[in-house]
Structure formats: C-alpha cells, structure tokens
Chain A
C-alpha cells in the first residue's frame, strides 16, 4: 500500500441547522442543529477499499457527499492528493470531479428518465472531453461491456431496465470519466440479494482491472465486511472504530462494533442467541449526549463515559477505536477485569 494517502480527512465536521423556533429564541437557547459529522478523521490509500458502515443517522451519507464535494464541511479539511478540496476552483475543481466519482443508492432517482443510456454516457464523456467526438460510440460499447450490459442497452431508457441493470448504468457512467476514486453510497441496498451479489462481484472485478480506490458506504455489515480492506464504523457522526477488515470483525475493539456485529443476522442457524446485542435506541442527533455517544446503550458503560468523549486512539497498527476501555476486545481476561 502506498504511504501517501490519496484522500485524507482531517477533523471534518458538518452541521445541519434545524429551524430556530420562537420558543427557543425567547428562552435564549441556541438554535438546534444536527451534528451530522463530528471531528471525523481518516485516510484512504490508493487502490484500497474502505468500507464505511453504520446505522441510519450515523452520518455516513453526509461523509460520502463531503468526499465528492457535494457538501462543504463546516470545519476541518478533506485533502485529495495533499490539496484541500475546498480551495479548488473552476478547472481544478472539474478535474477533481472527474477523478472522484460518486454512485448513488437510488438508481431510479439518479438517472434522467428522458435520456437513453447512450445519451447518459455521452454526456459524461463529452463534458469532461474524455474522447474525441468520433470515438465516443466505440467507448460507450466498451463501457457497456465493462459492466456486462448488452450492446442494445445503449438505445434504451432507464425504465426499461431492472434495478440491478440500472445500477450497472450508474457504474458505467461513473467509470466513463476514468476516475481514480469511486464513492459508492448504499450502492446495492435497494436490490434483491441475488442481484446484489452480481453487482458486488462486478465491483470487485472492476477494482482489480482498473486499480480503483473504492469508498463503500453501506449499512449492511456483511456486505461491507466482504468487500473492504479496511472498515470504519460510524455512530452519531463519529468514527467509533477503524481498522483492517479482518481484525476489526474478528475482534472488535469497540462495544458498538461488537453490538453491530452481534446484531447482524448470520447465515448459521446453529449459532442462535436470545441475548439482545444492544439495548435502547439511537439518541436524538439534535441532542447528542456530552460523553461517549454510545454510552446510553453500552453494556460496558461506566461513569467516565457519560462525561468525557473518548478520542479515537490507536489499538494496534492501522487499528484505532474511540473507547475509554482501551483493553476492550483485546483479551477475554482483560475485558472481564475492565467491566
């Protein structure tokens, strides 16, 4: 893996303001705001797949949008090859857009229903001047081959395709501009399992062939585990744990990652548990508790967790977690002592 990260995210925060109600004004309270991202830092290396996993409201989609600059963070910086992307202007910004592409969850909403597949791809190719005009039809055929769509797909409209095929069109469009990085936000969530597997296989193959860097954002732990080299687990706008996929799933170092893992339905009917993985529910993102955001649901909680927010600290090489119990998940004996 290359030492210089292709993307580095440094202390990024993003808030969305709620309406400032009259009652709150009169009471002299500050306006409510959802802290979608709260001091998020990580790095993405060239050629790897970074999975970002979390439940609804954890800020994973906001993060994905910040990465491609569909949203500008309120604090912190995102650097692409060392340059802060918020400083990029006109031509530079277009070049950045070309090199970092996003694929969206909803294949119905992200394709123009009035454009044929060849028009969709043609637009991407000509806006970024990827090919001379005459070469475009050949390139479209090439792209369709790449995502395994039939050649006659070019003249058809999005509604004529199934969900899985539409997701392939989205992938072809993103690949048209020959990006270095692809950010996939819940790429396969809307698809049936058998079709999900097809798209995942396609993604794995394309990554090998084209040496893509992939940021795979999803709520399905099984998918993220399957596709990622490294995984970041998010909760209420923060990274709770980040590390190599194998070690993170083999021995999670944060109680939330463990709960998420325990709750994910596994395909083994002989390993059943009747113990609930995490009690309670997500606190309101408008009113995040001052200490650890997971404190209200954690079965290992102690006093310090409720007042002091744990920082993301190193557990092993490449593996960090944000928990006061630094020994959590390290060894069974150490765990028992800590609780």
Chain B
C-alpha cells in the first residue's frame, strides 16, 4: 500500500530568488504547494520608531533605505506628506525636477525588476542587458544628486538643487535611445517562448481579489484594474503630461511583467515632455520654508505611485521639531498579504516565478 503525506520545505531567508531576506515556509504535496507561510522581518530596522527621535528633515535619508532602488520616489512621498501638513507651496520648477528624477528612479527600479525576473526564470542575458541601461540611469542620477542609490534629493518645499549644466540634454538624449533598448528586451525576454511558457497562466490574480487585498502598482494593473495615482489622482504636475496606463488582461505573471515593460515606454514619454516644459520655467527649486520645521499640530496622509505600487506616509505632528508619529504604507509589504493564496496549487518551480512577478523590495517590506 502506498501512503502519501505532506511535507514542509523551507525557502529562504538566504535565497537569491527572494531578492533579499525573506522566508516562505511551504507545505507541499509532491510538487504542489498546499499552503505557504510567508515570514518577514529579517530586515526590520524600526524606521518608524527612529523617525520619532529625528527632525522632519533628518528623516528624509531614512526613506531612501526603504526602497533603495527607487529612492527618489520614497523621498517624494514623505516630503509631500510634510508639505501637506505645513501647507507649503512647492515651486513649479521643483515639481518638474521631482518628476524627472522620480521617473528616472522608476526606470532604474523597473530595469532591475525585469532584469532580475528574467534571471529568476533562468535567462542570464536579459539581466545583463537591463543592467547596461540601469548603469546610465545611475550615472545620470549621480550627476544630479551626488549619490547613486540613496539620493535624498527631495527637500521639504522643493528639491536639493537645480540640474547641472547640460544634464537635461543628457537625459533627453538617453530617452531618445531608450525605446530601442526596450525593443531589445522585448525581443529577448518578452517574446521568448520559454519565458512565456513559464509565466503565462501562472499566479493568476483576479481583479476583484487584487482590489480587495489592496494590491497596488503594476501587480494590480496586470489584473486589468485601471488605478494609477498619476492618472487617478494626479499629484504634482502629472496632469500636464500625456501618457497611458498599461493594463494586463489575465492577471498572470506575464501580464505583471509586461505592465512594467510597457510602463517604461510611458515614462520615457513623461520625461521627454517634462524636459520640454521645464525649459520654459525659471525660478527657485525650493519654496519658502522656515529653517526649523515645526508643522502645526495635526496629521496628514499623502500617497504617490512608486515603481512597486502606492507608497503612503502618515505623519502626525505635536508642534515640536520632531514628528510625533510617522507611518509608511509600503506597497511591497501589502502586496505580499495575498501571497499564501496566490501560491496554492502551483508547482515549487512557480513559487519563484510568482514571487518575482510581484517585484518586492525587502527594505520596504520590513521597514
């Protein structure tokens, strides 16, 4: 008589496919996942507690360390919440600099997402190609901010500095080249038969489930839900640009990947328009902000669209120079809340494909 039983398999925390330190305790029936228990917290630094002992400005570099692949977008979300609390007006030029540097950050993050995803699936060349353009993006961001990853470029009321001479032209030139590079990735990865066989109809996420579980970013739009804060609730100057929100159809791993790929084409359009428009604007890059930042008593919540999804900052002020409470709504963290049900019924080999398609960032998950 043959007796079968379920067994456990430990995945991570030190495993390259988790893109950080993340553990999943899998219960398997043969090769099928019966239950998955995601365990996080290995990178927990207590950023929210640290914020309570720093001034408002001192907290900006900590936000870099959440999603360090798209640091500008993290800075931006935080300063927006503080600006909302204080009622500070941001100069037009600063808004454009935020858009350009923010979209460059999004590009860097998406390039890593698609590069490492192809690596997860087993295609090493895709990874190398994506890193080639990422290097250029990093160089551009370094020239602007002095730092490659932890940018800390946004300031409460504006940005740290104006673009150096000739920088905008360099970005413009790079953006001219970018669509052909994306064609190259499309040819190598998206159109690849093995890649499609591994990702299509795997990890299907239904639109109503995605909304119910507060999943955001390309993972939500891959299921066909049209919800991009840049379009739905335009912040900054996003209402002045003409761009589309790419949507998926089936909500499988391939659609989520493809959304990121198409989003890169759209952000190239946004940056090109922003460069056109910023040339006609003259003025300061930082608004009138007091030296010591003491917002009035109260609270504010602001959210923006990052490369991973919706990042929100809830800031409470008690009138002192230090925030009373800062909470970060991290998209990667909340996107993982549905991972257990998402993995059930798929094969062990699909676990990596599904986890990779959510594009999580452990610095952000564990906060």
Answer yes or no: are A and B bound together in one complex.
no
B interface residues (Cβ-Cβ under 8 A, vs A): none
